[in-house]
Amino acid sequence: MAERLAADGTAVVAHYSSNAAKADEVVAAITTKGGHAVAAGGDVADETAMGALFDTATEHFGGIDVVVNTAGIMPLGPIAEMDLATFDRIQRVNVRGTFVIDQLAARQVRSGGAIINFSTTITRLQNPSYGAYAASKGAVEAMTLILARELRGRDITVNAVAPGPTATPLFFEGKSQQVIDHIASLNPMEHLGTPEDIAEVVAFLAGAGRWVNGQTIFANGGAA
């Protein structure tokens, strides 16, 4: 997504939690092609750290026009068996983290800008073992729609993208090849989505899609 937005001429701050090396790779990929990018770290649920992240964007590029909030974790387990510490960790990253970013974005994104959160198609599929994760993303969708209405008159769009199964490290983690193949076969396209597929939806919402506001866009190949 960072590289796709940079290709449209957007200067990018690539955020990371702990993997600075990966963020540096993204920055290098963008700058090698003539784009503008810097990396900055921090805990997405820590308002002070994220305030510093937003300050980095303003200091380097003069202001903030687009915020894409993809940070999330997905530990799985049946509701009856999941320990509450894991549940709390999911909600801290996925719900509080989104709230912190949306709060800062609502204060700082300039007129004509876009705020893009991330939900999941699991909120429709409702698969067993995804209860805590789906609950967190249901909260993200609710925040997204309400923030769009709270920003009335600001000319800022607020939407959520809800990917289906997508070929990312988060998706592959803990799954056998048999399980991966089965999940990939469930949608009418009969394959996993790619990060590039999702990046195109984000680029649309960040750019030409100005009449799309207060929506959750399901990008899942027809899985739900």
Pair 218, 186: CB distance under 8 Å: no
Q: Tally the residues of the chain.
A: 224
Nearest to 26 by CA among 42, 10, 15: 15
* Catalytic option among 54, 87, 133, 218: 133
The angle subtended at Cα 134 by Cα 13 and Cα 160, nearest 5°, is 40
Pair 189, 222: CB distance under 8 Å: yes
Q: Where are the beta strands (DSSP E) in 93-168?
A: 109-118, 157-163
Pair 165, 194: CB distance under 8 Å: no
Annotation marks residue 133 as catalytic:
yes
Known catalytic residues are: 133
